[in-house]
Amino acid sequence: MSHLDTRATQVLQLAQKETKRIQQALIEPEQILYGLLFDGEIFRLISQFSSDPTKIIKEIEGKEMTGQFTDEPTLSEPSKKIFEDAYSMVKKRGVEFISPEDILLALFSQNIATANYLSTQGIKKEDLENKLSKNSTYVSGKKSALESYGIDLTEQAKNGQLDPIAGRDKEIERVIHILLRRTKNNPIIIGEAGVGKTAIVEGLAKKIVDGSAPKDLLQKKIIQIDLSSLVAGASHRGEFEERLRSLIKETQSAAGMVILFIDEIHTLIGAGDTEGALDASNIVKPFLARGQLQIIGTTTTSEYRKHFEKDKAFERRFQPVIVTEPDEDTAVEMLNVLKPKYEAFHKVTFPPDSLKAAVYLSKRYIGERYLPDKAVDLLDEAAAEVRLGQNEGKRSDNAVSRSDIEKVVSNWTGIPITKLTENESEKLLHLEDTIHKRLINQETAVKAVAEAVRRGRIGLSSANRPIASFIFLGPTGVGKTELAKTLGEILFGKEEAMVRLDMSEYMEKHEVSKLIGAPPGYVGYEEGGQLTEAVRTKPYSIVLLDEIEKAHPDVFNILLQLLEDGRLTDNKGNTISFKNTIIIATSNIGSSLIQQQLESTKKEQSAQTKLGQPEIQSDVAKKFEELSKILLVELRKFFKPELLNRFDGVVIFEPLSQKNMNEVALLGIKATQKLLNQQGIDISVTQEALNQLAREGYDPIYGARPLRRLIQSAIENPIAILIINKTFVSGDKILINFDQTKQEFIFTKTASTAQTSQANPQNIEQSNQPGVVQNGSGQVPPANGINPQQPAQPSQPSVQGVGGTQMQPQN
């Protein structure tokens, strides 16, 4: 399709767009005719035969069949033959590019049913050829430069091909004022992608056509220059300059009646720049300086800084028109005027609340793009989803509801913002219970986090800050990091939905820049920031800043902005939103004080045990309350008040008691059970064995980590050996007990079936045997790690087969 001229390219694009609308895989001749009828020249040509092209358009739309294809359509075989015949005609005429007129004639030559749409209107191929033979431009194939490389926006406005515009009257008036100046009358519209820069120029074209523009502009045409067509094929030295000069010459000969519009005008700088040749901007400069050329340009803020501010001679020829993102009310107004176009295209309806939802949700959850573009895209995709649902028979109504918009936003961002279902409402109401299935104790921390999640889920959290932010303090091994992982599992279905940064990697001043990206010219500039890039790709996540006190103080200055405004600007100037994140900073501040306190308590408990007195269960928690006050003082000494004040709360985790350890041990067994289920083996554990694991694995200084080591060495290692030597095979059920006399764990095969246990992942019930805790395949991971300094010494295991025969693992 490289031989299509600008008009023919537009015809093909319209045909492709129509094919996508009816969700067909192939672009048929009917869609090509449909695209032809929207070409201004073809429209006028057909009208000369006393035919109404709009009737043909409606007839085609009435006969089109809707399919279910959602990808990019391609040309059908008959359509390919049409373009092949059109190219043959072009070659006979000695012309380089195919025009819409050639495509129209090729439709007749194929003797296909599509030609009947024209013949029924009294249009014959011979009559068309007659008319075209008198058209010198068509016969010679020589078009003006403006026709070859430009698109007449005023002509498109006259034919109703431009979208309506609202909310930009002020900007259009500013453009008009600049155009009416005597000198430097070239507006350059500057704004971020998607705010509607091109729409402002189209709005001006509509004003010229409907007569509401000033008198001095009513006779002018706005021609959009396609720079890619201007550069395409200009491989020989001087060829590009020749094309551009002929374009300028024609514009000059129009006696000021032509205004050139160059979208993305920054591409003009450097265009056509080959060895020994001038680039486009240097060719245009003299004509702009003498007022012999009038140009409207559009560009983004960053591109303007990058290109125009460096070329002061070029910059001062233009007058800037700054276009900002519209507010929500104006964006809704813009969608209202666009609504009929999208309703007609998708054959759906948009209730008022769906327009407001598109603006509100896109503003809140799609941070990297701008209104109204992102809201329009939401409506477009939601309408496509509704239409697809109708075609598949999944829905009967054609109204795009708020829930349809919410579904699209969720698909784009991964953020669960759809209307709360009954199941999800229950989950949120009982969030604390769900967390406690993985995290033992820590009621205060769990409550604070659960309340923050509930506020954020129903939209009560501040729109300009993270959902919540906490500092977690406390001894090691009590669940600080585990709570963050649990939240990731509950909210996103997997622990990996968490951005975890080890703050010890940012101890040096020069390493701070890694968070938001290295400055230009430094290694790693193109990679972006480790924090900003992670949140940009996962905007709805838990951000865990592990051991925050180890970071350089400059890191805290970055956190000030993040916690207050909910955003960071990376090294490339991109703004990254943290509004849908939960920030958790863990700290070991005061760890030495905690360890001293816990060692003291541990010695007291050991002394009580030797004297035969009951173990003290409450002393640890009681003394830790006193220590909490000291920890807060230590925290205030280390961090500046302005940083601490921006966190929603400081949560101090309590040390685990001996009572808690039974629950932690059961979680560990559930994790082992989950792994064994993959081997087809089921296990159950007696209360005595569970108590023994809790006793041996308890260490108030190191929390739950020594217990994980104990389960590995006392339970998992022996079972692994017994599976390898075929003592236990798939289908076996194993009972784990503890023999107080022998001081060893005993593994008994209680059953051998062909069926693998597939217990409910969260089912914990009493076995038929007294004192046995039966647990299914646990979904819950064990506590982290071990105590490397004081490894637990497990009791020796033994194994009994069915019938009680004792078996020792063979190494």
CATH number of residue 210's parent domain: 3.40.50.300
Residues 13 and 138 in one domain: yes
Q: Where does the pLDDT of residue 767 fall: very low under 50, low under 70, confident under 90, or very high at 90 and above?
A: very low
Residue at which a domain ends, from 263, 288, 322: 322
pLDDT digits (tens, 9 = 90+) for 330-357: 999 999 999 998 888 888 899 988 999 8
Please provide the size of the chain in residues.
Answer: 811
Query: Which residue's entry shows tokens 């079972």?
Result: 719
For residue 243, the model assigns a pLDDT of 75
**Greatest CA separation found in the chain?**
118
Assess whether pLDDT exceeds 80 at residue 595. no
For residue 183, the model assigns a pLDDT of 83
Residue at which a domain ends, from 382, 397, 419: 419
Q: Where does the pLDDT of residue 540 fall: very low under 50, low under 70, confident under 90, or very high at 90 and above?
A: confident
More confident call, 274 vs 536: 536
Question: Which tokens sit at 307?
Answer: 């290109």
Q: Is residue 1 part of a domain?
A: no
CATH number of residue 106's parent domain: 1.10.1780.10
Q: Is residue 258 part of a domain?
A: yes
For residue 237, the model assigns a pLDDT of 58
For residue 190, the model assigns a pLDDT of 92
Q: Is residue 279 part of a domain?
A: yes
Q: Is residue 738 part of a domain?
A: yes
Residues 223 and 245 in one domain: yes
- Reported as type and span, the H/E element at residue 315 is helix 312-315
For residue 175, the model assigns a pLDDT of 92
- With b for 16 or more beta-carbon neighbours within 10 A and e for fewer, the 545-555 pattern comes to bbebbebeeeb
pLDDT digits (tens, 9 = 90+) for 199-219: 999 999 999 988 888 888 888
Question: Which tokens sit at 272?
Answer: 């056509």
Residues 87 and 234 in one domain: no
Contact 548, 472 (CB under 8 A): no
- Which residues, in sequence order, are CB contacts of 234 under 8 Å at separation 6+? 240, 243, 272
Residues 643 and 721 in one domain: no
Number of domains in the chain: 5
Q: Where does the pLDDT of residue 760 fall: very low under 50, low under 70, confident under 90, or very high at 90 and above?
A: very low
Which residue range is the domain that position 162 belongs to? 147-322
Residues 550 and 697 in one domain: no
Q: Is residue 766 part of a domain?
A: yes
Q: Which of 197, 157, 229, 200 is nearest to 1 (CA)?
A: 229
Residues 508 and 368 in one domain: no
Integer Cα distance of 412 and 325 in angstroms: 21
For residue 602, the model assigns a pLDDT of 57
pLDDT digits (tens, 9 = 90+) for 370-402: 889 999 999 999 998 888 887 777 777 888 888
Residues 270 and 318 in one domain: yes
Alpha-carbon dihedral sign for residues 151, 157, 160, 166: positive
Q: What is the mean pLDDT of the chain?
A: 77
pLDDT digits (tens, 9 = 90+) for 612-623: 555 554 555 566
For residue 467, the model assigns a pLDDT of 83
- Give alpha helix (H) positions in 123-213: 125-133, 136-140, 145-149, 153-158, 169-179, 197-210
Percent of the chain with pLDDT over 90: 5
Model pTM score: 0.61
Q: Where does the pLDDT of residue 84 fall: very low under 50, low under 70, confident under 90, or very high at 90 and above?
A: confident
Task: Count helices and strands (H / E) in the chain.
Answer: 35, 22
Q: How many CA atoms lie within 13 A of 496 on its CB side?
A: 1
Q: Is residue 61 part of a domain?
A: yes
Residues 650 and 672 in one domain: no
CATH number of residue 377's parent domain: 1.10.8.60
Integer Cα distance of 449 and 651 in angstroms: 10
Residues 109 and 202 in one domain: no
Q: Long-range contacts: 707-710, Cβ < 8 Å, 24+?
A: 707/661, 707/664, 707/665, 707/668, 707/783, 707/792, 708/668, 708/782, 708/783, 708/784, 708/785, 708/786, 709/785, 709/786, 709/787, 709/791, 709/792, 710/792, 710/794
For residue 790, the model assigns a pLDDT of 38
Q: Is residue 647 part of a domain?
A: yes
For residue 668, the model assigns a pLDDT of 82
Task: Out of 35-39, 91-95, 282-286, 790-794, give the one with best mean pLDDT.
Answer: 35-39
Integer Cα distance of 248 and 242 in angstroms: 10
Residues 369 and 300 in one domain: no
For residue 66, the model assigns a pLDDT of 74
Assess whether pLDDT exceeds 70 at residue 198. yes
Region 271-288: mean pLDDT is 65
Residue at which a domain ends, from 655, 678, 704: 655
Other Cβ atoms within 10 Å of 443 Cβ, number: 10
For residue 256, the model assigns a pLDDT of 79
Residues 642 and 663 in one domain: no
Q: Where does the pLDDT of residue 785 fall: very low under 50, low under 70, confident under 90, or very high at 90 and above?
A: very low
- With b for 16 or more beta-carbon neighbours within 10 A and e for fewer, the 637-651 pattern comes to eebeeebeebbbebb
Residues 361 and 431 in one domain: no
